[in-house]
Every structure is written in structure tokens, then in C-alpha cells.
């Protein structure tokens, strides 16, 4: 290193390793560590003439690590090429429709990223004192108000980092409420169509799961529900529209019956796409609702995050919310915004204040749409799913054939019986057609389930092409061509051993190669 202090400036294309190989179809992309060359970097230090001080002068010795971390050393040019290749390797979210049911892989407008990238938002330390981050606090307060307006609830916490984290928070709130009433209830009711995170969260929250079956219309079986309701029930967790894409028709009755035994109603609002601006969980009688901002409110997701799972509650649970909580202060003379801790708070559920840039994206999405725009999101999401339902009714059985909400569940049961082509084969074959696979084998109560959520962001032309592709796949199988069992044949990664991948997960790469 030189004797003078330096500024950091980007270095252009040093020792580029980029190739002109096509992005799609590459068999192997090395890890960033395999691309590493000692001494190569994405910046260079320009001498400025100002005397340089060594790290040891600036940082106390016991805070310095003995050796540099084994980070990859690559040029900016190689770095960009590497991640661009990875982003388009198996399937590119920017290049095609992603009809993965229950996941809401809508197109995320770039304006949300532009806002989240503003230096005043992105480069703020989460521990900055309140008087330096008044703007950030206002964003959080406004988002809480918007989410409460959308859900019909009284207050919300923005801390939980994902849907499942929101569920656990909601169950801890449920427990705190019953504790405060001097009650020790043990059971939480969940319909058999629920997302797998629901029973997992109930167990983590220290409760026992009681499952209620769905009736022949795909909704909660009211008689079965009544038969398990007593004063040992802490509450019910409902997804509405449920995971079959159907609106729970007896929702008001469910709410009344559960409240009658003193239980609380939890709304799994991971996906609000179908109801935005149309109906509100609060008006249906719910006490707790979590939302997945990364699904409904436009943060790119998949591959594990970042997400945000705010939890909104009715009036009676407001005092139990996690703290600290951003708040508008009444204090005329001092800061307009600050942090408060609700009087009977269950405490923190996340370090700092959740995934803040996801929260900034969500408020942007809400603000640019406005109430009318959000309602149009819901109307088009529902229209698109119903168009797909009708169009593909001749190719697959529709699990519950009545108007659906934002997603539709088909069954490939007949195709499997007649031709030996499973839902999984159809899903893999669709990758060859340039579409991401739909969700398969969920919900568990539908045999050979294929769950399609087109979202509101796909055009009629794209939906047409998706439907054409699925029809082609079915026609091909019906004509005796069973090559779908070999699909995907055009992607760099073919079929993986899913059981082994789940059981022998290797999520790390040893940079030293030993
Ligand atoms: C996605 C989803 C969840 C879980 O959300 P994560 O953010 O993945 O933890 C819970 N319930 C439903 C209905 C979902 O679709």
C-alpha cells in the first residue's frame, strides 16, 4: 500500500475474464471464489497526497482480526458478468412468467427499487438516533397506517422479517392476550388446506395443532369446526382466500363461533393480492393478520429473502405489540417522530427494525398505486386466475370448479393414471417452454396438484402463451409421447435428487478447497 491516504474509485475492466458464451445453457458457472485471483479487485486506490495512516493507527489492535477474511478477489467486470450469468441461468425472473402458486411472483416495479436505493434510505445505520432519521421514521409510521387501512386493523408491527416470522409473532401475541386474561389455552385450529408454516409456527409458539378438514366446496367444514371448539382453543389460523384459491364463504360464521369460545382469529394474509381494496380482515372479525410485503407489495423474492412480514392487530391487542415501535410524537417542540414501547409489549421479534428497505419498497408500491390502483391489482389478479381456470378446464381437472380468487388449483391425476405423466413432469416440461414451473403437490389435499397464480402483472398475450404451452404438454402426453418424464432437457440443471437435496444440504463453499 502506498504512503499516502487514498480515495476509492472504481477500476474499469481489470483483467476481465468474461466470455462471450451464451447466458442460457451454460453447464456450470464457477463460484465467485473459483473466479478469484489473488490481488485482483473491483476498485483501486488513487493517491491523493494526504499522508496515510495505517489501520493499526485507526483501530485498536484487539478489534483488528489477525488475518484478512478469505473473500473472493475479482474485478468489477468479472463480478458483473458472474452475477448476470447466474441471474439468467436456470430461469430468469426478468425474462418470463413465474406462475408459482402461493408465492405471488408478480413483476416488481423498478420505481420501488429506485426509492430503496436512495442514499438517504439505504446508507443509514439502523442504530442512528431518532433525531437523525426523522424521515425514515415517518416512512415506517406511514406504512403502518397504510397497512392498517388496507387490513382494517388498529395498529401493526413492522419488525417480523418474513411471513413465518409474522406467524410466530401473531401466536406470541395470542398467548400474551390469554395470559393477561389468566387463561392457559393449549390448542390452535388450522384447516387442512393451510400453508405448512402455519402448523410449524403453532408448534414453535408452544401450542398444539388441531386440524379441521375442508368440505366438498373446498372451505372450512363448519360442522367439523364446531365439534372441536371449546375453551381450550386459543384461536384459529385461517388463510383467506384459502390455499385452494377460494374465498371462505362462511367467514363471518367462523369468526362468530371462535369468538364465542373466547378464541382469537388469526388471518394468514401472506397473499393479499385478491382482496386489496375490496374486503378487509378487520371487517371480517379478525384479531391478528400478517402480511408478506415481499409477495403482495413488490419486493423481489425467492431464493430466501429479504422479506418482511408485518403483523396488524385489532384494538384489544395493540398494547402487546413488539417494541420499540416507530411513532408520531405529540411533543410540539421536539422531534416529530420517535420510538415507543407498547405497555405490555411481548418484546423484540427482530434485531433493529426489520428489513427496512423492503418496508420502503412497500410504501412506494402503495403510494404509487393509490386506493384505486390497489383495487385494480386485486381485480386483475382474480381475472387472470379465472381466465386460466376456464381456458385449461379441458386439459386438467379443476380441483374445486367454481370462481377462484388470485390462484387456481388443477389436478394432473387423470394424466398420471392414463399416461403416467405426473404433475412434477408437467412442471419440469413447462421450463422447456420458457415458463417457470407452477407450484406442485400443494395444497396437500389435492391429488397431483398444479397450483397456478398468474398474478396481475402478466399480459393477456403472456397468459395465452402459458395456456398454449400447458395444452401442448398435455396433448403431447395424450398422444403417447412421454418425454416429459425426461424434462427439463434445455436447462443447465436437469432434475435434481430432491430428497437428497433436502436431507444433505450443502449450503457452504470452502474457499480454501479443503
Ligand atoms: C408464503 C406463505 C407463507 C410464508 O411466508 P414466508 O415469508 O415464506 O415465511 C405463509 N402462508 C402463506 C399462505 C404463504 O403463501
Domain residue limits, the chain: 111-367, 377-503
- Is 292 near ligand 1, meaning CB less than 6 Å away? yes
Instruction: Give Cα 306 to chain centroid, integer Å.
Output: 8
Three-state DSSP state, 358: helix
How remote is the CA of residue 290 from the centroid of ligand 1, in Å?
A: 10
How remote is the CA of residue 428 from the centroid of ligand 1, in Å?
A: 23
Three-state DSSP state, 339: strand
Residues of the chain short of pLDDT 50, as ranges, are 1-25
- Is 169 near ligand 1, meaning CB less than 6 Å away? no
**Angle formed by the axes of helices 356-391 and 460-478, nearest 10°:** 50
pTM score, whole prediction: 0.89
**Pocket perturbation via mutation, ligand 1, pick of 100, 101, 102 by most ligand atoms within 8 A of CB:** 102
Where would I find the H helices in 392-490? 413-419, 423-432, 460-478
Q: Closest ligand 1 atom, CA of 309?
A: 7
Assign domain 111-367 to a CATH class.
Answer: alpha beta
How remote is the CA of residue 200 from the centroid of ligand 1, in Å?
A: 12
Assign domain 377-503 to a CATH class.
Answer: alpha beta
Cα angle value 319/162/365 (rounded, 5°):
90
What pLDDT does 70 receive? 84
Please tell me the distance from the alpha carbon of residue 153 to that of residue 286, in angstroms, as a whole number.
Answer: 9
Nearest by Cα to 46 from 96, 1, 101, 109: 1
- Is 276 near ligand 1, meaning CB less than 6 Å away? no
Write phi, then psi, for 44 (nearest 5 degrees). Answer: -135, 155
What pLDDT does 139 receive? 98
Q: Quickly list DSSP for 82-135.
A: HHHHHHTSS--TTTS---BTTT------HHHHHHHT-HHHHT--TT--GGG-HH
The 3-state DSSP composition of the chain as helix, strand, coil percent (nearest 5) reads 35, 15, 50
What pLDDT does 23 receive? 43
- Is 195 near ligand 1, meaning CB less than 6 Å away? yes
What pLDDT does 512 receive? 63
- Is 164 near ligand 1, meaning CB less than 6 Å away? yes
Contact 74, 35 (CB under 8 A): yes
Amino acid at each position: 500500500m502506498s504512503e499516502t491516504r487514498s480515495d476509492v474509485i472504481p477500476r474499469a475492466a481489470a483483467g476481465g475474464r468474461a466470455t462471450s458464451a451464451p447466458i442460457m445453457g451454460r453447464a456450470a458457472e464457477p463460484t465467485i471464489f473459483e473466479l478469484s485471483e489473488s490481488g485482483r479487485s473491483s476498485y483501486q486506490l488513487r493517491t491523493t497526497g494526504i499522508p496515510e495512516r495505517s489501520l493499526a493507527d485507526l483501530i485498536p489492535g484487539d478489534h483488528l482480526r489477525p488475518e484478512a477474511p478469505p473473500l473472493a478477489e475479482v474485478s468489477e467486470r468479472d463480478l458483473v458478468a458472474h452475477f448476470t450469468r447466474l441471474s439468467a441461468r436456470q430461469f430468469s425472473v426478468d425474462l418470463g412468467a413465474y406462475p408459482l402458486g402461493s408465492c405471488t411472483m408478480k413483476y416488481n416495479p423498478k420505481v420501488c427499487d429506485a426509492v430503496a436505493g436512495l442514499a438517504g434510505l439505504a446508507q443509514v445505520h439502523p442504530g442512528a438516533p431518532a433525531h437523525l432519521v426523522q424521515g425514515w421514521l415517518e416512512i415506517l409510521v406511514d406504512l403502518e397506517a397504510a397497512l392498517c387501512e388496507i387490513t382494517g386493523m388498529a395498529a401493526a408491527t413492522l419488525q417480523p422479517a418474513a411471513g413465518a416470522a409474522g406467524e410466530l409473532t401473531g401466536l406470541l401475541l395470542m398467548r400474551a392476550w390469554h395470559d393477561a386474561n389468566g387463561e392457559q389455552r393449549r390448542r390452535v385450529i388450522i384447516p387442512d388446506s393451510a400453508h405448512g408454516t402455519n402448523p410449524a409456527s403453532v408448534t414453535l409458539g408452544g401450542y398444539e395443532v388441531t386440524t379441521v378438514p375442508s368440505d366438498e366446496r373446498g372451505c372450512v367444514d363448519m360442522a367439523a369446526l364446531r365439534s372441536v371448539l371449546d375453551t381450550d382453543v386459543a384461536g384459529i389460523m385461517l388463510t383467506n382466500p384459502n390455499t385452494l384459491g377460494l374465498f371462505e364463504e362462511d367467514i363471518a360464521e367462523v369468526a362468530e363461533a371462535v369468538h364465542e369460545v373466547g378464541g382469537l382469529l388469526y388471518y394468514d394474509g401472506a397473499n393479499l393480492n385478491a382482496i386489496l381494496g375490496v374486503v378487509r380482515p378487520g371487517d371480517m372479525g379478525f384479531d391478528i393478520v400478517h402480511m408478506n410485503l415481499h409477495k403482495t407489495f413488490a419486493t423481489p423474492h425467492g431464493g430466501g429473502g429479504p422479506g418482511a412480514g408485518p403483523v396488524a392487530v385489532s384494538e384489544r391487542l395493540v398494547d402487546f405489540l413488539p417494541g420499540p415501535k416507530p411513532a408520531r410524537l405529540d411533543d410540539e417542540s421536539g422531534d416529530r417522530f420517535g420510538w415507543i414501547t407498547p405497555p405490555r409489549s411481548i418484546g423484540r421479534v427482530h434485531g433493529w427494525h426489520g428489513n427496512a428497505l423492503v418496508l420502503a419498497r412497500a410504501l412506494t408500491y402503495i403510494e404509487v398505486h393509490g386506493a384505486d390502483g390497489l383495487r385494480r391489482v386485486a381485480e386483475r389478479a382474480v381475472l387472470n386466475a379465472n381466465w386460466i381456470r376456464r381456458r385449461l378446464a379441458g386439459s386438467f381437472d379443476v380441483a374445486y370448479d367454481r370462481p377462484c380468487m388470485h390462484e387456481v388449483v388443477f389436478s394432473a391425476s387423470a394424466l398420471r393414471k392414463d399416461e403416467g405423466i405426473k404433475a412434477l413432469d408437467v412442471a419440469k416440461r413447462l421450463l422447456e417452454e420458457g415458463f417457470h414451473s407452477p407450484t406442485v403437490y400443494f395444497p396437500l389435499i389435492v391429488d397431483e396438484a398444479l397450483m397456478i397464480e398468474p398474478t396481475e402483472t402478466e399480459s393477456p398475450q403472456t397468459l395465452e402463451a402459458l395456456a398454449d404451452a400447458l395444452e401442448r404438454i398435455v396433448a403431447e402426453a395424450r398422444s403417447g409421447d412421454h418425454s416429459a418424464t425426461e424434462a427439463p432437457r434445455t436447462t443447465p440443471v436437469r432434475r435434481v435428487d430432491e430428497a437428497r437435496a433436502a436431507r444433505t444440504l450443502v449450503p457452504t463453499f470452502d474457499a480454501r478447497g479443503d
